Amino acid sequence: MIVRPHQHWFRRLFSWRGAVLSKIMFRLGLNLLMSIIAVISLQWYETLGVHLTTAPFSLLGVAIAIFLGFRNSASYARFVEARTLWGTLLITSRSLLRQAKGALRRDPAAVAEFTALLLAFSWALKHQLRGTDSSDDIRRLLPADWQNEVLNSPFRANRLLLALGEWLAQQRDRGAISDLLYNGIDHNLNTLSQVLGGCERISNTPIPFAYSLILQRTVYLFCTLLPFALVTDLHYMTPVVSMFISYTFLSLESLAEELEDPFGVDANDLPLNAICNTIERTLCDMNNEALPPPLKPDDRFNLI
């Protein structure tokens, strides 16, 4: 994800990274080609006696704009919900460690073990959502007692939740925490489970394919035929106007498709690496441990 400081409006007009223009350049090129064909064949086109006017395109354009608005709203809602879930993960991780440190002030080893399980959960969830291998982070964070159990599981984030519950039960069995505190910590573990389930729901349930397909086909057909409706009035200005209108529709469609999966690695997706790094730095600071270097999302694409 790209997060930039405020830019002057003129400089923002020429921003490249983070824009969807790079993804639609080929489609805009096809529109330019159709515009050139429309201009070259104008004389022959008029002899056919068939005249496309802008009236039907105006009506169709309004309909497409409305549907694109709904499509973008649905995709952005998924993005916002995903960010809310990861914000909840950060808050709950802090609360869990605070509860554990308050109950086990004289047992730093148990607190360190609990911290490692919490950190491993956030990184394992990030890898699960992106379909990458979490083995290196699991080995880096977890003590040897837990590594094999987690690494042998196909659902590592869920296995880490189970490990957190087992750790909590062990502390209660040896009398380190009271039943009241046990219930409080268990409630926060349930919140982590809800975060996991919410992220899985967004990741595994895309916007219905047929809905996206019909909108995409309509946009492409609109942009293909548009030059032939404009050419009788605009002549040599047809490519400029046609590309500008097509850019609007194609960019909105491309942005909606990008935001539909907020856990990816596109420029406008969530910066999961930076969020996991923030969680790790926060928990290490609470334990008075050395902090890993900070990561901040920017326009270099190496911190998303």
pLDDT attached to residue 17: 67
Tell me the residue type at 164.
L
Which pTM does this prediction carry? 0.87
Task: Encode pLDDT of 165-191 as tens digits.
Answer: 999 999 999 989 999 999 999 999 999
pLDDT attached to residue 302: 45
pLDDT attached to residue 10: 59
pLDDT attached to residue 6: 66
Q: At what angle do helices 108-130 and 156-173 cross, to 10 degrees?
A: 160
- Mean pLDDT of all residues in the chain? 88
- Residue 294 DSSP one-character state: P
Instruction: Provide the pLDDT confidence category of residue 88 given band limits of 50, 70 and 90.
Output: very high
**Alpha-carbon distance 82 to 101, whole Å?**
29
Of 97 and 45, more confident: 97
**Alpha-carbon distance 67 to 82, whole Å?**
23
Q: What average pLDDT does range 23-31 have in this prediction?
A: 89
As given in the structure block, the two tokens for residue 56 are 């039907």
Coil, helix or strand at residue 197: helix
Of 233 and 185, more confident: 185
Instruction: Report the percent of the chain where pLDDT is more than 70.
Output: 89
